[in-house]
Structure 1
């Protein structure tokens, strides 16, 4: 009869308990990784620092931007300190390294950029400034990879392939007058039977206004120039003393305004175009007018080696070969601020390439007034969790 021997296995030694410091480090690392992943793939928080989108977005608004709508972009610059953009917090030290640069791809989204979308994008820069040799302290967007250039927010007024024209300060897309966003600020001439003072304009939330010389042929009529929104205009029309109110242009078609894109064409911000927005697959003839409109795009943004592209007023050549036609390799968009007279946008620096698009602005979750009338008005409660239209 065989004897059975019981073999007693040694119990595994208990794992040493993590110290409180180690648990804290693990929690921080997990939180940073999770936040970085969420910011890249899902939503990115932004703050509004300027008035170019008033009154749709106000200085001090905090908003969330969806990366999912148009599809998140894969990082171009993977060697970067998490949760930073261009520099380490509170310093001028770069937060990234360009030792590794990857090609950019866009993950599938569930929609495409549409006219009237409020979009965040990386600033492509002023087409009429020299692109090379610009230091970080002087227009530094040119020294950063595409995904680390300054973030701008504007409204997309024209998508790739559209023909845009501005006449008498009104935007036309493909020959049809485009709807004006309800919070866009435009200039109007208002006639009133009463003399209006600062209290009236302040009550109506109109900050830019001035009295015009009276019309000698019409007694008892006061004239004012105001900058406000179509929404407020509808409110003003309800007053019995408001005789008329009409949108006006401050320029005429013959005026050439400095700084308008492209500089070679005589235009201004109220009389602009017509100009076709480049579209992937669109082929154009490279005459002198189209070179003025699209030469900068072809050289710097359409996936050509800029060092091999030579652009003159009458000819574009790539790798020494003169071109008579050109076919675009990606889509582009035309962006404008809702505060159209206080906005540096596509009218001044040109088209936004598709690979510069960050995401769609969804809603404001907080709004802090930088110049409140009193402490209790510091938070704009009516703007909390407000959808962006």
Structure 2
């Protein structure tokens, strides 16, 4: 890509050499980096300071496009396709204009256009002359062209803002309730944790990975650029919410309401009828590059180099109890020993969504299974002091969690997990049979090595070794809804190169993701940071 830009700039400079000569300027000026753009601006009627905007990322793309269009127009090329050629193929089109004897430079277009508009303004009370000027207006555009140019500009402006600055996301599941609710629409800052430059370049603008209704991917996997991240404005801290690409999302089976990975299938964790459809080949597997994997949002619980353990629901970082989010949720059995029904009328107002109501809700049931935070528990108890709220035993989740090694980690469950070491760039670990399951995917998949295990020995890129040094940082992500969140406890570490951005603001919110249920007015313009 660097060579592509260098070659493009060289070709552009050569074309400016010829076009400057035709415009009455010395050709060598077109070959001088920076100065050539100052002269270019003058030739179309811009002030020299206009070229300063070319130094601003993203803005410079639109400034360049404007200069290219105005240069073509200064040669009397006023059609839509002339503008398109100037923007998309400037070096070749300018070379054609500079060497074709039939095309003449007509002078800076912008002063001429301003002069013509002034004439129209001055003759507005002279009907006959005004109509004549309107009819002969060489700069007039048809309504269709006006709309086409406006739409193209809007789409590309939005695409560049989405790609480099801020992107909008919607919360689809309850894994982060009640900090972030189903139906919350977020603005996410991409430069905050370091802007990750685009890797997939051939795509449909404004779509992430699927084209609606067509049921197909919205991009081409090739050409593909190498991973590159710019300097971060801030680091990721404990309990920061983070948007990232789903680490196991490289090979997936796509269903209407959710996506399963091939790793889910291999572990036997996909329930029927989805597993049956996959097994019979009814649903094809889709491979995705890293930046086109599904987006997840979780809270960063563990940082690179941390030792993390969960004991009786409490997370410990490096041996010390970590701070808990305000709206931390767990699954409870709620019942009334007297047999009286539990009134669920206010559940929605309390933030207990339909997704949080797992069993026994409705019809005045005396026993329910609910996902609750401490505030919701207090409201239930205040409603009837006889109500009992008991934690659900999570031992049933044993043998289902990362790193899927029942011989060494088979007693771990959602509430009692670890300890684990979170990989940090530059740190070297000893490779052992009893812990290799924890880092097998890190070494082989995330860090691009050929990793093999033979006869109890480890081979990295064909060489036997007992040690490994991590090439990048990793994070441990968990949802605030601790019993209903597919997070690092299920699929492991999140590599630094999968990090997308930082949630900033909730700009709109629908109750439980449904317009029919109303708008969460109190959540609009609420911060999406730590809560």
Distance 2:446 2:211 in 1: 28
> Which residues of 2 match residues 58-207 of structure 1 at below 5 A?
58-125=181-248, 137=283, 140=286, 143-187=287-331, 197-199=341-343, 202=346, 205-206=351-352
Q: In structure 2, do the counterparts of structure 1 residues 235 and 180 end up closer, same or farther at CA, with 3 Å as the change threshold?
A: farther
Match of 1:6 in 2: none
Match of 2:482 in 1: 340
Helix, strand or coil: the match of 2:202?
coil
Pick one of 504, 508, 516 that aligns with 1:362: 504
Distance 1:136 1:71 in 2: 40
Helix, strand or coil: the match of 2:195?
coil
Report Cα offsets for 1:131-188 as digits up to 9, x if no partner.
Answer: 9xx9994664xx1111000111111111111111111122111111122211121245
Larger relative contact order, structure 1 or 2 (CA cutoff 8 Å, min sep 6)? 1
Q: Name the structure where helix makes up a greater proportion of residues.
A: 2
Pick one of 368, 378, 388 that aligns with 2:518: 378
Match of 1:280 in 2: 425
Compute the RMSD of aligned alpha carbons. Answer: 3.4
1:301 and 2:446 correspond: yes
Helix, strand or coil: the match of 2:497?
helix
Helix, strand or coil: the match of 2:434?
helix
How many aligned positions are there? 359
Q: Do 1:157 and 1:334's aligned partners in 2 also have CA atoms closer than 8 Å?
A: yes
Q: Which structure has the larger Rg over C-alpha atoms?
A: 2
Q: Which runs of 5+ in 1 are unaligned?
A: 1-9, 212-221
> Normalising by the residue count of structure 1, what TM-score does the alignment of the two structures yield?
0.80
Distance 2:505 2:340 in 1: 36
Q: In structure 2, do the counterparts of structure 1 residues 163 and 47 end up closer, same or farther at CA, with 3 Å as the change threshold?
A: same
> Normalising by the residue count of structure 2, what TM-score does the alignment of the two structures yield?
0.60
> Which residues of 2 match residues 205-220 of structure 1 at below 5 A?
205-206=351-352, 208=357
Helix, strand or coil: the match of 2:291?
helix
Q: Do 1:363 and 1:385's aligned partners in 2 also have CA atoms closer than 8 Å?
A: yes
1:251 and 2:394 correspond: yes
Q: In structure 2, do the counterparts of structure 1 residues 43 and 272 end up closer, same or farther at CA, with 3 Å as the change threshold?
A: same
Match of 1:217 in 2: none
Distance 1:165 1:326 in 2: 23
Helix, strand or coil: the match of 2:188?
strand
Q: Which runs of 5+ in 2 are unaligned?
A: 1-104, 114-137, 249-260, 268-278, 361-365
